[in-house]
Structures are given as structure tokens and as C-alpha cells.
Structure 1
Amino acid sequence: MLLSDNTYPLDLVKIKSAHPFMLPWEKLGKWNVDFFVAQLDKKRDYPRANLGGLRLECAPYDRLTLGFSRTAIFGGEGRPHLGVKNYWDIFWARGELSQDVSKNASNQLSSVDFKLNIFDNLQFYGEWAGEDKFAPWENESPGFLAGLFVSDLFNMRSLDYRMEYARNDAAWYTHGIYTTGYKYKGNIIGHHMGGDAQDLFMRISRNFSENQDYFESFTLGGEFDYEQHGRTLAYPEDKYEVAIDGIFYLSGSKSARLMLKRQEYRNFENVSGTKAYNNIFEAEANIKF
């Protein structure tokens, strides 16, 4: 809900733990810590604002992982200079609900999440998130995500299935001071559905190992996605999307991906009775070095 691949890659400075480590609370298991700071684009209400993020993760049991994440947009051209006290207030999310530009120093989101492996091939996961609060449970309009992942479905090797549902309210990814919102280069930094929305996603795929002269393996997949935008409005927009794709893993850390996608909109742009359709073909190449 806080960070996704929905937007362009960020140029950032990142500090993270090199290896999981123990704290005095041994029952919480080993910990990982990630911290980053990035600069956003200049085409926004406060150009070149900063985006900071912190994630804490622990594994109290072999099959359970718990996480806490926070992000904040702060600073930028035209905003007051930030001193040590301001950064302290940002950390504790003080003044987050104030409409006073001088007191509201940042746009913050936070979440708690878990991953639970019931069996070796079955995983449940979820996230509970909040807007403009220090902790997600303080929020009156929380967002959440719940999902499951099954590998080797029906005992068929490399046949994977994923189902995921997410929902949030109208306040999500908006802000009274940073009116551009929780975006980078026009795209939502968090969940692709945006605010005041819900999303149901399902995907099934299978990997085939061929070891041919031109590629080592390939994955065939199919997916369905239903999104509802403006769900609290009089005419919510419904978007239905189906897609098939193939990913070919070539020798030498190279891969290629082809996708064919069909989209259908009802109550397009929240106008009653309007419809729209899209047919999309995507081609992608990746080289790792």
C-alpha cells in the first residue's frame, strides 16, 4: 500500500542491514532494517520534495514474518527550512492533520504487515495501513490488503496461483498541503488502484524448464484484475482487465516478456452508462549486469 512498482524508479540513498541481527527481545527473532531518502520530480506543487522511508522486519517464527513501514514526503522548494526539531516532529508525525502550512511538515503513511507460511507451498499475507498518522491503527480511514500465494498448485511443479484484494478510502494518496499527492512523475507511488478504490487480482502461471539453445526456461501466465475507482461516488467506475503473458529467460542473465491485455471500463470516468475499451500489447527486455 505504501511502495510499489507502479511508478518510475527512484534515485535514492539507501541504508540497510547487511545481515539479519538479534535484539534483546530474542522472542521476536532476527531483524532487518531498511532506510532510504529520495528526491521527487520538479513538476509538482513543491518541486523536488523529498521522500523518506523506513522499514522494520522481524521473524519471530520460521513461518511468520512481521513488518512495520513508514514513508513521508517532506521539504521541497517553497516549503519552510527544516531544522532538527522539524525532523523530530516528522518522525513522530506531529501536526499531520493541521492545515497550517507552517505546522504540517510532511505527508505520512504507515503500515503493519505479515507473511504466514501455513505449509511449504501456501502463504497468507496482509497489510493494514493508515494515512497521515504515526501508526496505521490511529487512522479513521484505514486501507488494507490481503492475499494468498500457492506454489505447485494441484501438486503440479512450478504451477503458481496468487489472489489479492485491496481497498482504501477517499483520503488515500491525497494531502491538504502537498496537493500533488503521493505521486512521482504523475504516477501513484503506492498501490496502482489509487485512492477511494478497491482491487481484486488473480494470477496463475507455470514455469517450464527447456534448456534450449536460445533460452533456459519460460513462464506462461494469465491474470484477471477488477478495479473500482471512486467507490464512494454516485457512479463508481468499474475496470475489468484480462491478460496473458510469456516470459522467456535467455542465457546470460537476459529475459524478454510479451503480454496481451484487454481492458473494459463501465461508468468510465464516473459518468453513468459510459463505456470504454483498450487492447494493449507490451514487449519488455531485461539485461542484468
Structure 2
Amino acid sequence: MNKKLLIVLSVSIVAIVPILTTTASAQNLYINDLRLKAGIDWLNTQGVTQISTSTWPLSANEIERGLQGAQFTNAVQQQVIQSIQTRLSQDRDSLVKASGEIMLQSDRQSLPQTFGDDQLAGQQISGSVGLSEANWEFNLQATFKNDELIDDDSDFSFKGSYIAGMAANQWLIAGKIPAWWGPGHDGSLIRGDASIPVTGFTMQRDTQTAPTYKYLNWVGPWQYQLFAGQLDDYDAVPDAKLFGARLAASPLPWLEVGASRTFMWGGEGRPDSISSFGDAILGTKDNGDNDNGDPANQLGGFDARVQLAPLFNVPASVYGQYVGEDEAGGLPAKNMYLAGIDYASAAMGKPYQLYAEYTDTRTSGEVRGISYDHGTYTDGYYQQGYPLGYALGGDAESVALGGRLWLDGRNFIHAKLQHAKVNQSGELDRRTGEADNQAFPMADKLTAIDVSWEHQLQPLTKLTTRLWAVDADNRSSDIGAGIGLELATY
């Protein structure tokens, strides 16, 4: 799959370079960037902006559209706006962008992942080259890794590579990029970024403006995302496909609602007719041309976020998500849940954000070995043993307390304390005799503290450090550290 992706990207790059103009725009698409997301979330919670961060990738044009309507009332709010504007304009005057990164970290087998946590090897060196024009963009990224957390049978990876084109406010993206569907800070129940990204195609809007048609204008700013890709190393059903769709809208300035659905379909020995695909899309029938009548592996659910600043002048928001493994009466059933609250303020002129998040990936509150599992796609809702949804996998409970602090325009700190019960069913795959969930392969209880610091040494040089400690009942306790250096040319 990696070789195929490299060939596609190389041919596509050769094809589009001659038609690019000599003046490039800023980066068009932003991929799961924690500092960027935290800054936008802070402004939203303060009531300054209304920019959705529930669907990633996120376009630069949408962020800029939201910032243009920002209503700041103090210097701290203006400071956060300026930091985001600086992030967007870093590469505005360049044609070809290049960057390199080296990352070293100790073993982190028990550390729960979080949004944008893509350092998945003990040692890795990455290099990328990209080009952005108003309606086109590509990024070719190659990574050499050693002592990797996720075993994909290769020392090289092209994750983060993509080519994208935009027309009529619609982006079409092909590549190996992560996604994120939902309002959570630490996880999404249906499409998170804990696994190596699934290679495929993504389609979504550029700017999320409200419909102009008078009878639909009430929908407010809205976004959709469609995805189609093929899973790597899915041994239970080789060449299985993953499809997904998400729709999110803000009908009121203080409310965002979303609906998401994914399904695994096809693959070796599975039906691949148009009618069976239609049945999978409808979700109301089994794949009827298969003798044993097994359905596609489907997930679906809803989420919402309520901003309290427009309602009560309180800089906080509450949010929730629920996703079902089954359907009953047209609604998700056998549900998993996520709920949280966050607060944004400033102390001594320094903006900070606090959040508390509870997640339950059991089956409607019961440990049944059903969540992220399936009778036909027996490797479950995982790729290479790592969840395509919430990072802890199925049959987990988690409480996380987190915070972000901007010391100044060059220093950003993220900290999290998390207590979790993981893989409580301890169920083993009947085909392999091993756990589908290789992130947490046995039932366990753990408490983790995770602190990271991002320091902008120079405009084109960034230093990242990380410290963590994990105390687990059944796995070795873990105290670790990591350091990374990123160099860029614009």
C-alpha cells in the first residue's frame, strides 16, 4: 500500500507542477494540529469566534473566515488571535515548503494517546516537501522509524502524505492522513487518530458558510466529510475497505450538532456487488448476496457541543458524543459514550484552558466484548491492532483532566491526568488467540500523567519535549521522556 501511495503521489505531483502559478498561497489544509485546535477552542469558548473543530482536516480559509468575524474585547483574546494568524501565515511567501524532524523517546507502551499524537516510534526521522497553490496542495512525507509502537512490517512510512484539489468550495484529498470526528479533546468514539492513518480519499467543504437558500439558511455554518479507503494488514478479511460520512452544523451561535457513520465492507471472500454496497450504506439489511448473511461492520452516532458564553456569559462549554455498534428503530444501539466540559480564561495575562472528559466504550454500560468487535471482520474496529475510534479501544472507562497554557507566543504547555480501566472484557480473537486491541491487550487499570512543552526556538525551528508516568496494575509501570526538533524552510 505504501508503494502504491508513493507512485500515485509522485505521478500526481509531476502532473500538477506545470500548471501551478509562481506565487503560492499559504498552507490550505491543516492536519490534526493540537496547538492550533487548542487556540481555536479557546477563542470559541470565550465567545470570540465560531469555528468548528469537530471535523479534521481543517481548511485555512475556514479558519481565516472565522477570525475575520472575531469579536475580541481584551488584549489576551487579541493575543490568541494573533498567534493563530501567525501560524497561518508562516509559509505564505514560499513556493516549495520543506521540513525535517527528528524525534527520540523512551518506550511508551502504556501511555494513552491523545489528539494529534503521531510520534509512534522510539526513534524516527521525517522529511517532507510540499507545495500549496490556491486550489491545489500536495505534501510528500517520508519517515524512517525504529522501535515503533505500531508494527506495520516496515521501517519506512509515508503517513502524512497527500495530494488535494479544490473546486466549487469542495476539497478532494487523496493520501494517508488522519481524521477526527467529534467534539472530544482526548478522543473520538468513531474516527480518531490513534492508529496509523488509513490510506484513501476524503471529500469535504473548504469554507463552512451557511446555505444561501432561504429555507435552509437556518442550518447555519455546516461541514460534511466523506471517506473511502482500504485498511492495511487487516488479516481477518484482507483488502477490507473502510467508508465513512459525517455531517456537522451550527444552527445557533451556541450550538453545534453532528452525525457520523462508518462501515467496513468488502475484502477477500466478502460480497462486493453494487447491491451489497447499497445495503451497507442503508444499514438496514445484511449483505444479501453472501450465503451466511453477515452484515458489514457498522458504527454510527451523534454528537453535540453547547457554548455557554453566548447564553450565560460564562467562558465554558459542554459536549457529548454517543456511538452505537448496532441499530434499533433507526437509532444507534449498544452504545458507547463520551462527555466533557471545558473552561477558557487567563491568569496574569496568560491564556489557559481546562477540561474534564469521561469516556465509556463498554456496551451501554456493560462489559460484553461487543464494542469495536465483529463476527465477520474479526480483527475488529482496529488497524494493525490500534483503534480506528477511541484510543483505549473497546470495553474501557476513562476519566481525564487536562489543561493547556500559553506562556507566550513561543511556548505552549499541555498536561493531562488520566485514570482508566482498559480492555475489561479481556476477550481474545477466536481466529488468532490474541487480543484485537494491541494498544491495551489485557484487562488493566492505569493512571497516567502526561506533560508536553512546545517551544518555538526560531520562526522556522521548533523544540518539543514530553514527560510522562504511567502506573498500571498488570503491565510494568512506565516513566518516560521524549524530545523532538523540527526544522522548516519556507
Q: TM-score, normalised by structure 1?
A: 0.84
Aligned equivalent of 1:229: 422
Alignment partner of 2:361 out of 148, 168, 172: 168
Write the letter of the residue equivalent to 1:166.
T
Q: Is the 8 A contact 1:200 1:226 kept in 2?
A: yes
Aligned equivalent of 1:61: 252
Aligned equivalent of 2:345: 152
Write the letter of the residue equivalent to 1:69.
S
Q: Percent identity?
A: 21
Greater relative contact order (Cα < 8 A, sep 6+): 2
Task: Structure 2: state its 5+ residue gaps.
Answer: 1-188, 363-368, 427-441
2:454 paired with 1:247: yes
Write the letter of the residue equivalent to 1:244.
V
2:269 paired with 1:78: yes
In 1, Cα distance between the equivalents of 2:461 and 2:254? Answer: 32
What SS class does the counterpart of residue 114 from structure 1 fall into? strand
Write the letter of the residue equivalent to 1:110.
G
Aligned equivalent of 2:229: 38
Q: Is the 8 A contact 1:128 1:136 kept in 2?
A: no
For 1:2-13, what aligned pairs fall within 5 Å after superposition?
2-13=190-201
Q: Is the 8 A contact 1:4 1:190 kept in 2?
A: yes
In 1, Cα distance between the equivalents of 2:221 and 2:374? Answer: 36
Q: Is the 8 A contact 1:109 1:132 kept in 2?
A: yes
Aligned equivalent of 2:324: 130
What SS class does the counterpart of residue 132 from structure 1 fall into? strand
What SS class does the counterpart of residue 477 from structure 2 fall into? strand
Q: Is the 8 A contact 1:149 1:163 kept in 2?
A: yes
In 2, Cα distance between the equivalents of 1:232 and 1:185? Answer: 20
Q: Deviations over 1:236-257 (max 9, x none)?
A: 6211111222112344455332
Q: Is the 8 A contact 1:121 1:150 kept in 2?
A: yes
Aligned equivalent of 1:117: 307
> What is the CA distance between 1:87 and its match in structure 2?
1.7
In 2, Cα distance between the equivalents of 1:96 and 1:196? Answer: 25
Q: Is the 8 A contact 2:242 2:262 kept in 1?
A: yes
Write the letter of the residue equivalent to 1:227.
A
Higher helix share: 2
> What is the CA distance between 1:114 and its match in structure 2?
0.6
> What is the CA distance between 1:9 and its match in structure 2?
2.1
**What's the C-alpha RMSD, in Å, of the aligned pairs?**
2.7
What SS class does the counterpart of residue 90 from structure 1 fall into? helix
In 2, Cα distance between the equivalents of 1:261 and 1:159? Answer: 21
In 1, Cα distance between the equivalents of 2:218 and 2:471? Answer: 49
Alignment partner of 1:188 out of 380, 383, 387: 387
In 1, Cα distance between the equivalents of 2:380 and 2:271? Answer: 18
Equivalent pairs, count: 272
> What is the CA distance between 1:168 and its match in structure 2?
2.0
Write the letter of the residue equivalent to 2:480.
I
Q: Is the 8 A contact 2:325 2:371 kept in 1?
A: yes
CA change 1:51–1:134 in 2 (3 A) is: farther
Higher strand share: 1
Alignment partner of 1:19 out of 190, 207, 211: 207
In 1, Cα distance between the equivalents of 2:393 and 2:480? Answer: 21
